[in-house]
Amino acid sequence: MKSLFAKYNGDRQQISKCLPQIVKSVVNCYSGNCSDTCRWSITLCNGGIKTSWWNKSINLSSHGLQNGSLKPNKTDKLLIESLLEMKLSQTALNQMQFFSNTNKCESVNRTISTYLPKNKNFSRNAIGRASAAVLKVNNNRDVALAKTLKAVGCGLGRKSRAVVALKKIRKHEIYDCAYQKSLRVKFNRLKARKKQAINFLLNKRVRKRLSGYKNIS
């Protein structure tokens, strides 16, 4: 959806025309017909062997899945279509007219909860604390602090210690954000999730055996 908004500059009429073909392409992709329709649709996949999403996806490779590994039947295909239509349908497109996602909303909610914890009652300055939280989300920490101080008449000097410290904090935040988005970190995170899923399934089988053993005794 992000690539569609970028290509058509947010024109929902043009985007809505592409959605049915994209849903069909994704279903065909999971069915093993990767290069039939993906090459001509906007799904960030060029088809082929080395340029397909099956080869480029970290999620699929971390679980050892390759093109043709899945064999969905008609019921599975209908289920995949219904799941895709939750995001790739006209109804979902109408709800995303401003292209805002839940990640942004959750980020604002988390920041507001730190400024306005539920176990405390800020009867006098609740609005100000909430505004400060939104200011921090929309801007960076250093910019938000500089704007707040400037608004109250206490602007920071260009070479003051506070400005130098804020620049160091911002530099560290940029590095940490880039590090968390690096392919190595993403791949290690997916490997950890895969290991957790395998351990969960193994422990679930063991629990079933133990529960059956107890019932017999």
- Residue 34 confidence (pLDDT): 66
Maximum CA extent, the chain: 78
Question: Is residue 124 included in any domain, yes or no?
Answer: no
Instruction: Quote helix, strand, coil % in the chain, to nearest 5.
Output: 70, 0, 30
Question: Is residue 210 included in any domain, yes or no?
Answer: yes
**Domain closes at, from 96, 130, 160:** 96
What whole-number distance in Å separates Cα of residue 30 and Cα of residue 37? 12
Q: How far is CA 198 from CA 44, 54, 203, in A?
A: 29, 21, 9
Residue 87: domain span: 4-96
Question: Is residue 173 included in any domain, yes or no?
Answer: no
Contact status, residue 57 vs residue 37, Cβ threshold 8 Å: no
Question: Is residue 39 included in any domain, yes or no?
Answer: yes
Amino acid of residue 190: L
What's the predicted TM-score (pTM) here?
0.49
- Residue 46 confidence (pLDDT): 63
**Domain closes at, from 50, 80, 96:** 96
- Residue 58 confidence (pLDDT): 67
- Residue 36 confidence (pLDDT): 57
- Tokens standing for 128? 């100000």
Query: CB atoms < 10 A from the CB of 19, how many?
Result: 19
Question: Is residue 125 included in any domain, yes or no?
Answer: no
Cα 153 to the center of its chain, rounded Å:
39
Task: With residue 56 as reference, give the H or E element that holds it.
Answer: helix 53-56
Question: Is residue 9 included in any domain, yes or no?
Answer: yes
Query: CB atoms < 10 A from the CB of 160, how many?
Result: 11
Query: What angle (nearest 5°) sits at the alpha carbon of residue 208, between those of residues 204 and 210?
Result: 115
**Domain closes at, from 96, 119, 153:** 96
Contact status, residue 23 vs residue 88, Cβ threshold 8 Å: yes
Question: Is residue 168 included in any domain, yes or no?
Answer: no
Contact status, residue 160 vs residue 149, Cβ threshold 8 Å: no
Instruction: Specify the number of domains making up the chain.
Output: 2
What whole-number distance in Å separates Cα of residue 33 and Cα of residue 68? 8
User: What is the mean pLDDT, run by run of 10 residues, along the chain of 217 residues?
Assistant: 77 83 82 65 62 72 74 88 86 73 77 89 89 87 85 83 88 90 88 83 71 51
Cα dihedral across residues 151, 152, 154, 159: positive or negative: negative
Question: Is residue 140 included in any domain, yes or no?
Answer: no
